[in-house]
């Protein structure tokens, strides 16, 4: 039922004058619309509100398609009406009409309701090339609107499956860490899928793939292995994959992320987290000890000026929680700024812990980690220890284009921490 849109020399044809005109139309077209005997269903979508078109709507949509084939335009102007035509155009494989409807719908004001309607269309439409721009626009709208999922937590938790997938696919979520995404996904799945079998199915086949496990903390990854919400084979696979990723060099990690960028789930692509991911190696003997690696992009360091700070993900040692905190320190006495690095003990209870610490930074010349400061200190909750000028140079020299401290745009920091009591 596809129509020709241009003449032999490429000019657009318009036959609106002949539509339903007695001088050109000498046949009567009878339309008989019957219900679909095998309606599509999405078993993973509980309480799914499908768009059910009445026979009258579908008949009107078919007439609109015929009108479009003659005049290259539609008389309908509302989102719901154009959507009816789009569904009918897909049924009769009128690709040019589908493209036209997609373009018109993208030009209309988008709302969360309309975006969810677009993503809730039958699978035959969702996979059609003609409307991919509309689908991508709807996903981007939802991801942008709900970018701060903590701010809109109640709304996001009530989104249907297609909506939560659109939000969690985004690289630009405003979240403290990927641990928060993991917690959020479990909370959503438990609310919408009370039966463990259904929950395992949707997490293993759909939502679990949107969690970027390589950027979760090691303590949280351990919990994934014992979480009954995930299929056991899926949990083992993603945790093993995450641990291997963490052991790769930053260059290799970047390569994996670049290879993954075209897939549905960019699981190796780092989001913009409030707390920066770290790699941690723990030792139990002869005394509790850990080695923590923190890599910062140069642009992240630039944004620290003149007096900002950032925090790493929490890591544990001796049953206590710690953070690393790089910052731009203002030395008012010398009227200059410099790069500082501090170790902060997280837990709030009145606990003191005597630690031995050593801070390292990787050299551009030797590619080795060189000691920058070390010492012993008794930490209490909320207290920190570190060095205000880790490299012993002004900020301008540290951040300069020819700086010796950035390797391929990355600052590589390492902290060794040992409990002494």
**For residue 125, which of 162, 169, 75, 157 has the smallest C-alpha distance?**
162
- Residue 336 near residue 393, CB atoms below 8 Å: no
Domains of the chain: 16-143 (no CATH), 150-260 (1.25.40), 275-419 (2.60.210.10)
The whole-chain average pLDDT of the chain stands at 84
pLDDT band at 348 (very low <50, low <70, confident <90, very high): low
Mean pLDDT of 348-360: 84
Using only C-alpha atoms, the chain has a radius of gyration, in whole angstroms, of: 29
Mean pLDDT of 333-361: 86
pLDDT in the model for residue 279: 86
Phi first, then psi, for residue 78 (nearest 5°) are -90, 155
**For residue 1, which of 86, 67, 66, 83 has the smallest C-alpha distance?**
66
pTM of the model: 0.75
Half-sphere exposure (CA, 13 Å, Cβ side) for 250? 18
**For residue 121, which of 156, 157, 79, 158 has the smallest C-alpha distance?**
79
- Residue 277 near residue 221, CB atoms below 8 Å: no
Q: Is the dihedral of CA 400, 406, 411, 416 positive or negative?
A: negative
pLDDT in the model for residue 65: 86
- Residue 110 near residue 137, CB atoms below 8 Å: yes
- How does pLDDT run across 26-83, given as a tens digit for each residue? 666 666 666 655 544 444 554 444 444 444 568 778 888 888 877 778 877 788 889 9
**3-class DSSP assignment, residue 95:** helix
The strand pairing partners of 370, in sequence order, are 361
pLDDT in the model for residue 26: 65
- How does pLDDT run across 178-202, given as a tens digit for each residue? 999 999 999 999 999 999 999 999 9
Number of H helices, E strands in the chain: 15, 11
Which residues are within 8 A (CB) of 301 and not within 5 positions of it... i.e. 6 or more apart? 326, 339, 398, 399, 411
- ∠ Cα 127 129 135 (to 5°): 65
pLDDT in the model for residue 7: 47
Q: Is the pLDDT of residue 157 over 90?
A: yes
pLDDT in the model for residue 258: 61
pLDDT in the model for residue 198: 97
- How does pLDDT run across 82-99, given as a tens digit for each residue? 999 999 899 888 999 999
């Amino acid at each position: 039922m596809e129509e020709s849109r241009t003449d032999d020399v490429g000019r657009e044809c318009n036959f609106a004058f002949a539509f339903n005109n007695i001088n050109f139309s000498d046949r009567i077209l009878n339309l008989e619309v019957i219900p679909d005997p095998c309606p599509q269903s999405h078993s993973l979508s509980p309480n799914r509100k499908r768009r059910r078109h009445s026979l009258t709507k579908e008949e009107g949509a078919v007439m609109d398609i015929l009108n479009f084939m003659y005049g290259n335009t539609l008389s309908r102007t509302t989102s719901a009406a154009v959507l009816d035509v789009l569904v009918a155009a897909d049924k009769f494989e009128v690709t040019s009409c589908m493209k036209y409807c997609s373009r018109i719908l993208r030009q209309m004001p988008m709302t969360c309701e309309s975006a969810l309607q677009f993503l809730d269309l039958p699978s035959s439409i969702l996979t059609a090339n003609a409307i991919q721009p509309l689908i991508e626009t709807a996903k981007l709208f939802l991801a942008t609107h709900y970018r701060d999922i903590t701010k809109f937590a109640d709304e996001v938790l009530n989104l249907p499956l297609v909506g939560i997938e659109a939000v969690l696919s985004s690289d630009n979520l405003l979240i403290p860490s990927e641990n928060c995404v993991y917690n959020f996904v479990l909370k959503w799945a438990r609310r919408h899928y009370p039966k463990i079998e259904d929950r395992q199915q949707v997490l293993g086949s759909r939502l679990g793939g949107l969690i970027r496990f390589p950027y979760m903390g090691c303590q949280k990854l351990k919990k994934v292995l014992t979480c009954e919400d995930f299929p056991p084979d899926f949990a083992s696979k993603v945790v093993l994959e995450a641990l291997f990723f963490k052991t790769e060099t930053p260059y290799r990690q970047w390569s994996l992320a670049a290879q993954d960028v075209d897939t549905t789930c960019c699981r190796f692509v780092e989001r913009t987290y409030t707390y920066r991911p770290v790699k941690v190696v723990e030792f139990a003997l002869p005394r509790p000890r850990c080695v923590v690696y923190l890599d910062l992009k140069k642009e992240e360091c630039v944004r620290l000026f003149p007096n900002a700070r950032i925090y790493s993900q929490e890591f544990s040692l001796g049953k206590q929680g710690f953070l690393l905190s790089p910052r731009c320190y203002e030395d008012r006495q010398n009227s200059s700024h410099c790069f500082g690095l501090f170790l902060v003990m997280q837990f709030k209870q009145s606990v003191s812990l005597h630690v031995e610490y050593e801070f390292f930074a990787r050299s551009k010349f030797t590619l080795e980690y060189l000691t920058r400061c070390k010492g012993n200190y008794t930490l209490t909750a909320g207290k920190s220890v570190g060095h205000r000028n880790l490299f012993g140079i002004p900020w301008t020299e540290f951040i300069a284009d020819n700086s010796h401290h950035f390797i391929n745009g990355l600052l590589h920091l390492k902290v060794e921490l040992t409990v002494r009591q």
